[in-house]
């Protein structure tokens, strides 16, 4: 009874496994045990018990690398001193069910009964697991074991989904994730400017997550576009592979990226060989970069030159010697390896084995004398990750045990202890940083991923038909420099006739001067190149938009950079400016000459008889009018803009006011000659004449002053006339001010014309009123024609029109007023006497009507040229009946001659049937 009671109490404080898995594994006890999951066999059968078949020597080497690492740590007095590490390794047989069962066995232990402590807690069987190599297996394992915070450090699971810390809080890995592998692929694409690629992925977590990451990262990085994306199915499905190869053949993409396993590549390449799809550049993921099964004479004409991502190669000193010292008596897995390598069986052999000629294993066979890749450790890649994973767990355990009580990271500043170790404590201390003997830094980020680094491999197809896989670069990420790609392009073998990288683009790059225009319904890498419009440029290749040039610049012919706009103004250096300047200076010179003539002959009757003082003042004002036209030529400045119209307005008002006063004096003189008219002359004395001229000029000066003060003219850069030119012009500031200035001049000119017209038939021998009438007629005709011509002339031509109007009106006044006088003074001095003046002089009688006709013709022609609203042709309303003779010809020359020297004019009336004048003498 006492024994039964004691046994029942003992059972109540223990746990019992409901089921025990029969797994292939090897174990070694220790103070702390680490677990491991490896692919020692790559197939399995499921009778009553799971049976692993097809021994995998590389997978077994992976397991022995962990054994070697633990053995090395146990011999290291500086790492985990006085603590012995043990291990418990299982074979997953490349089967999810077996791998998951092995993970549960590591978490629960191999004992069927567990004695619990007083607080219902016990030491876990293992404090960490190295593995599983498969992403799908790691997902299943971490989903469960992560609930118990048991650290899992994988050496070969690359699925980016395992970086989800909320779903997999205890998962770490020493191999970069597929997310970095995808970015490494994109770095290679960018390096060779491959923007149009195809993507093939396996139908599992590894391939599908890689495809999602690739599509997302490729779009974010602007690294290119996918011409197609296909999924390689599992199993024997030749129709599907035939369809995929047809897609590859029809596509213009020359680069193919494959995230798949060896089995998929073999099926795919068989179809590629059948369809003879050449000229492809293959990019391999780490899953098949180093697979020897693809290095066959049938595949290499197509796969030669492949660029692939491979796990970082490392060196593990002493590993080869450790493998050579293996003894088949140590573990069951070693016996399995021995039987596979030496093709023998340990006693007792299976029935019929000896009779069939099979040899018995003695355990004394020499590994160095047998052909096997097991001892090939010159290219350690997964093994190096296993080595780092074991050391990461060891360093985490070491840091935890080095904690000082009272200064720990746990509640109450406590520390973990060897007697009461918990997996979550080791998980906390995995936030570490150490350097391997090979010089690589090992640390984990917040997602449990190690600092990523990959080797870039190239498949070299040798002339003898053999294949060499060589390293041509490295892609890595560091905390300081970010992601870096280093390639030795001189070492890369390209499987093309040109021995150069292929071109793989949907559309060729758009050169500077053009912009991209997306093709509707196609990926962003397919586009047209549209030239930039005028005034816009693009100075980069594949520019998305054309940028507008600054205000003072314009696009060049190639539309790839901005050039200063051409400037336009009435310049002294252009033919038009030279002609106008010459005319202005010529007019000024003629005025000076005429003034000199009048001064020299000031005592002669013809000068004295026509109010010489006002004549001198008119000549001075005309000289100013000619000179003020120079202010309109040259690049506009503030002072020239302000001065040009003021000088022009005051000069012409001074001239016209003198003419007006002279006309009024003529009228007053002849009115005074009548009985009782002498009293009127007192209002037209010298002082009154001077005062009138001064008063009329001051009014214009006041108008200019108000205009300049209120809204002053200023220089302006006008870009409205021409997009590619800057027209420098003077804006008038106030249109009202400019209109008042011109209107005042027009008012005085009209008044002078009317007064002179009224005095044209006064009985004088040299009636200057007729000359004033003719001069005012020219003046008014010029300025009436100026208005429409000025409004319709852009830029510098508006200034040219204004200068032409100034010069034309000035020359008209100069010639009409002083031409006849200078003719008599210089050429007919015998008529420059008082007696001759009293004799009838029909100069003006002969030529005045003809001059009037010419002025009317000029006036009508100016209206036709200056107004865009007139019809294409002009018709004279009246024809003059003149004494003439004509002869037709291809070219007609006109002539004016004095055939008669006097004439008889009937009454000057404009009737429908004009009377014809008669000439005599």
Dihedral Cα 908, 909, 914, 918, nearest 10 deg: -10
pLDDT at 776: 81
pLDDT of 7: 41
Q: Give the model's confidence band at 353: pLDDT under 50 very low, under 70 low, under 90 confident, else very high.
A: low
Higher pLDDT, 498 or 777: 498
| Candidate from 179-193, 359-373, 775-789 with smallest mean pLDDT | 775-789
In this predicted structure, what is the pLDDT of residue 674? 57
Residue 76 has pLDDT above 50, yes or no: yes
DSSP alpha helices (H): ranges in 602-734?
Answer: 605-608, 612-628, 638-672, 686-710
Residue 683 has pLDDT above 80, yes or no: no
**Rounded mean pLDDT, 125-136:** 91
pLDDT > 80? residue 670:
no
- Identify the weakest region by mean pLDDT among 165-179, 673-687, 837-851: 837-851
Gap between the Cα atoms of 496 and 305, Å rounded: 9
State the pairing for strand pair 902-904/918-920: antiparallel
Per-residue pLDDT for 818 more than 50? yes
Helix, strand and coil content of the chain, in percent to the nearest 5, comes to 45, 15, 40
pLDDT of residue 292: 81
| Residue-level pLDDT at 745 | 87
DSSP type of residue 450: B
At 218, list the tokens: 């490729």
Higher confidence at residue 293 or residue 487?
487
Average pLDDT over residues 210-229: 87
pLDDT at 319: 92
Cβ pair 663, 682 in contact under 8 A: no
> Does the pLDDT at position 36 exceed 90?
yes
pLDDT of 113 above 70: no
Is residue 509 predicted with pLDDT exceeding 60? yes
Say yes or no to pLDDT of 14 above 80. Answer: no
Taking 90 as the threshold, does the pLDDT of residue 491 lie above it? yes
CA distance to 153, 265, 698, 832, per residue, from 297 (Å): 38, 15, 109, 124
Please state which of the ranges 174-178, 271-275, 816-820, 904-908 shows the lowest mean pLDDT.
Answer: 904-908
Most confident region among 248-262, 342-356, 439-453 by mean pLDDT: 248-262
State the Cα angle at 590 between 586 and 594, rounded to 5°: 175
Q: What is the pLDDT of residue 729?
A: 82
Q: How many alpha carbons fall within 13 Å on the CB side of residue 461? A: 19
- The confidence score (pLDDT) of residue 708 equals 86
- List the alpha helices (DSSP H) in 792-842: 796-822, 834-838
Q: What's the CA gap between 906 and 917, in Å, rounded?
A: 7
pLDDT higher than 60, residue 856: no
pLDDT at 915 over 70: no
pTM score above 0.75: no
CA torsion 504→506→508→509, rounded to 10°? -100
The reported pLDDT for the residue numbered 725 is 82
Mean pLDDT of 772-799: 80
Q: What is the pLDDT of residue 37?
A: 95
Half-sphere exposure of 244 (CA within 13 A, CB side): 25
* pLDDT of 556 above 60: yes
* DSSP 8-state class, residue 481: T
d(CA 426, CA 438): 25
Interval 143-178: pLDDT, tens: 999 988 999 999 989 888 899 999 999 999 999 888
What's the pLDDT at 913? 42
Query: What would the two tokens of residue 21 be?
Result: 């898995």
State both tokens at 783: 């300025």
- Mean pLDDT value across residues 584-589: 92
Distance CA 58, CA 372 (A): 10
Would you say residue 914 has pLDDT above 50?
A: no
The pLDDT of residue 551 is 83
For the stretch 388-419, pLDDT in tens is 999 999 999 999 888 888 888 888 788 888 87
Q: What percent of the chain has pLDDT over 70?
A: 85
CB-based contact 36:90 (threshold 8 Å): yes
Instruction: Decide if pLDDT at 878 tops 70.
Output: no
Per-residue pLDDT for 443 more than 60?
yes
Provide the pLDDT for residue 495: 92
Lowest mean pLDDT among 171-175, 289-293, 699-703: 289-293
Least confident range from 42-51, 407-416, 709-718: namely 42-51
Q: How confident is the model at residue 852 (pLDDT cuts 50, 70, 90)?
A: very low
Band of the pLDDT at 631, cuts 50, 70, 90? confident
User: Mean pLDDT: which of 260-269, 356-365, 896-905 is highest?
Assistant: 260-269
Residue 853 confidence (pLDDT) above 60: no
- pLDDT over 70 (residue 867): no
Question: 303: burial class by Cβ within 10 Å (0-12, 13-18, 19+)?
Answer: buried
Task: Tell me which of 198-202, 382-386, 548-552, 786-790 is least confident.
Answer: 786-790
Give yes or no for residue 902 having a pLDDT over 70. no
The band of 907, judged by pLDDT with boundaries at 50, 70 and 90, is: very low
For residues 111-132, give the mean pLDDT: 71
306-339 pLDDT per residue, tens: 999 998 888 899 999 999 988 888 788 899 899 8
Name which residue leads in pLDDT, 536 or 904.
Answer: 536
Provide the mean pLDDT of the chain: 82
């Amino acid at each position: 009874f006492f024994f039964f009671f004691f046994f029942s109490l003992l059972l109540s404080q223990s746990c019992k496994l409901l089921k025990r898995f029969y797994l292939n594994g090897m174990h070694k006890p220790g103070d702390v045990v680490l677990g491991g999951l490896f692919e020692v066999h790559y197939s399995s059968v499921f009778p009553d018990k799971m049976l692993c078949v097809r021994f995998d020597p590389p997978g077994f080497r992976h397991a022995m690398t962990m054994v070697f690492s633990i053995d090395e740590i146990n011999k290291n007095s500086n790492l985990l001193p006085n603590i012995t590490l043990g291990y418990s390794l299982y074979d997953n047989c490349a089967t999810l069910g077996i791998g998951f069962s092995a993970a549960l066995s590591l978490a629960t232990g191999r004992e069927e009964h567990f004695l619990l402590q007083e607080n219902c807690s016990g030491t876990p069987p293992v404090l960490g697991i190295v593995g599983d190599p498969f992403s799908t297996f790691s997902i299943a394992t971490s989903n469960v074991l992560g609930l118990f915070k048991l650290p899992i450090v994988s050496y070969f699971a690359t699925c980016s989904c395992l970086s989800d810390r909320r779903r997999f809080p205890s998962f770490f890995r020493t191999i970069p994730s597929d997310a970095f592998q995808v970015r490494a692929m994109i770095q290679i694409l960018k390096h060779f400017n491959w923007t149009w690629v195809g993507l093939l992925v396996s139908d599992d977590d590894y391939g599908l997550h890689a495809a999602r990451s690739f599509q997302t990262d490729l779009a974010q990085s602007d690294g290119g576009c996918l011409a197609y994306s296909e999924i390689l199915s599992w199993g024997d499905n030749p129709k599907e592979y035939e369809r995929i190869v047809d897609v590859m053949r029809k596509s213009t993409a020359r680069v193919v990226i494959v995230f798949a396993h060896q089995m998929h590549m073999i099926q795919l390449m068989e179809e590629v060989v059948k369809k003879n799809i050449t000229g492809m550049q293959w990019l391999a993921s780490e899953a098949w970069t180093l697979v020897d099964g693809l290095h066959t004479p049938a595949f290499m004409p197509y796969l030669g030159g492949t660029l692939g991502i491979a796990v970082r190669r490392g060196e593990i000193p002493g590993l080869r010697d450790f493998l050579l010292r293996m003894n088949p008596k140590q573990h069951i897995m070693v016996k399995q390896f021995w039987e596979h390598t030496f093709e023998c069986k340990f006693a007792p052999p299976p029935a019929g084995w000896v009779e069939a000629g099979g040899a018995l294993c003695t355990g004394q066979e020499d590994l160095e004398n047998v052909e096997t890749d097991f001892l090939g450790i010159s290219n350690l890649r997964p093994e190096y990750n296993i080595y780092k994973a074991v050391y990461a767990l060891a360093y985490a355990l070491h840091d935890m045990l080095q904690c000082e009580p009272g200064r720990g990271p746990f509640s109450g500043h406590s520390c973990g202890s060897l007697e009461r170790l918990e997996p979550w404590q080791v998980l906390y201390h995995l936030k570490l940083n150490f350097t391997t003997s090979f010089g690589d830094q090992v640390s984990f980020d917040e997602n449990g991923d190690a600092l990523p680094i990959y080797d870039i491999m190239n498949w070299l197809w040798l002339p003898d038909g053999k294949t060499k896989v060589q390293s041509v670069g490295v892609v890595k990420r560091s905390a300081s420099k970010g992601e870096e790609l280093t390639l030795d392009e001189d070492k890369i073998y390209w499987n093309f006739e040109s021995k150069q990288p292929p071109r793989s683009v949907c559309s060729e790059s758009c050169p500077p001067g053009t912009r991209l225009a997306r093709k509707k319904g196609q990926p962003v890498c397919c586009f047209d190149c549209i030239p930039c419009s005028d005034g816009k440029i693009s100075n980069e290749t594949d520019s998305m938009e054309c940028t507008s040039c600054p205000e003072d610049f314009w696009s060049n012919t190639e539309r790839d950079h901005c050039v200063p706009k051409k400037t336009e103004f009435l310049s002294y250096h252009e033919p038009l400016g030279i002609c106008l300047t010459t005319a202005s200076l010529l007019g000024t010179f003629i005025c000076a000459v005429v003034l000199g003539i009048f001064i020299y002959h000031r005592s002669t009757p013809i000068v004295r008889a026509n109010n010489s003082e006002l004549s001198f003042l008119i000549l001075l004002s005309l000289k100013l009018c000619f000179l003020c036209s120079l202010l309109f030529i040259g690049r506009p400045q503030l002072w020239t803009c302000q001065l040009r119209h003021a000088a022009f307005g005051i000069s012409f008002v001074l001239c016209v006011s003198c003419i007006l006063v002279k006309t009024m004096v003529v009228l007053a003189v002849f009115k005074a000659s009548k009985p009782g008219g002498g009293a009127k002359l007192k209002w037209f004395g010298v002082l009154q004449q001077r005062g009138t001229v001064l008063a009329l000029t001051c009014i214009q000066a006041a108008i200019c002053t108000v205009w300049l003060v209120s809204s002053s003219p200023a220089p302006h850069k006008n870009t409205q006339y021409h997009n590619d030119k800057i027209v420098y012009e003077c804006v008038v500031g106030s249109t009202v001010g400019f209109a008042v200035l011109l209107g005042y001049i027009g008012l005085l000119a009209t008044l002078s014309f009317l007064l002179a017209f009224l005095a044209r038939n006064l009985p004088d021998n040299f009636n200057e009123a007729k000359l004033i009438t003719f001069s005012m007629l020219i003046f008014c005709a010029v300025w009436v024609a100026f208005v429409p011509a000025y409004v319709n002339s852009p830029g510098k031509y508006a200034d040219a029109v204004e200068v032409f109007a100034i010069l034309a009106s000035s020359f008209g006044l100069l010639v009409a007023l002083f031409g006849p006088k200078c003719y008599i003074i210089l050429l007919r001095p015998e008529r420059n006497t008082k007696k001759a003046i009293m004799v009838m002089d029909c100069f003006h009688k002969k030529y005045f009507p003809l001059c009037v006709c010419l002025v009317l013709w000029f006036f009508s022609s100016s209206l036709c040229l200056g107004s865009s609203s007139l019809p294409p042709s002009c018709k004279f309303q009246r024809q003059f009946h003149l004494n003439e003779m004509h002869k037709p010809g291809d070219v007609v020359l006109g002539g004016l001659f004095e055939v008669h020297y006097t004439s008889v004019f009937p009454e000057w009336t404009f009737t429908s049937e004009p009377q014809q004048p008669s000439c005599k003498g």
